[in-house]
């Protein structure tokens, strides 16, 4: 399993709109593609401008198979819907490893 980790700074007064529009636009779009397993959105109790998104994918290949034009169009719709300042400050890729007992 692949994990996409996204760290975003959002104007604090825009945070709830950002999260709602992300679900409506990004999650709806991504969930239509094979390999999408789900998304968690974490908000910081200490830093109101911080939003973390953890997206789970079956494989890296399925994740990367989403056409670039779809990603660009989705980001354009999302930016217009949010209507405020936000900045992607970190984007990382992780793999989940499970080890068998005794290994």
Has residue 7 got a pLDDT over 60?
Answer: yes
CB of 22 closer than 8 Å to CB of 53: yes
pLDDT, tens digit (0-9, with 9 covering 90-100), for 11-21: 999 999 999 99
pLDDT of the residue at 102: 67
pLDDT of the residue at 38: 97
Secondary structure (3-state) at 92: strand
pLDDT of the residue at 84: 79
Has residue 103 got a pLDDT over 60?
Answer: no
Class of domain 2-95: alpha beta
Helix boundaries (H) for the chain: 15-21, 28-30, 60-64, 68-82
CB of 33 closer than 8 Å to CB of 62: yes
pLDDT of the residue at 79: 95
pLDDT, tens digit (0-9, with 9 covering 90-100), for 50-100: 999 999 999 999 999 999 999 999 999 999 999 878 999 999 999 988 776
């Amino acid at each position: 399993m692949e994990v996409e980790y996204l760290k975003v700074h959002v104007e604090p007064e825009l945070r709830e709109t950002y999260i709602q529009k992300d679900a409506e636009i990004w999650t709806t779009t991504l969930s239509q593609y094979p390999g999408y397993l789900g998304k968690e959105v974490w908000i910081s109790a200490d830093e109101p401008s911080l939003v973390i998104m953890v997206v789970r994918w079956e494989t890296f290949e399925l994740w990367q198979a989403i056409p670039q034009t779809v990603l660009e169009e989705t980001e354009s719709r999302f930016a217009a819907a949010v209507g405020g300042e936000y900045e992607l400050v970190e984007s990382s890729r992780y793999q989940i490893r499970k080890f068998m007992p005794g290994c």
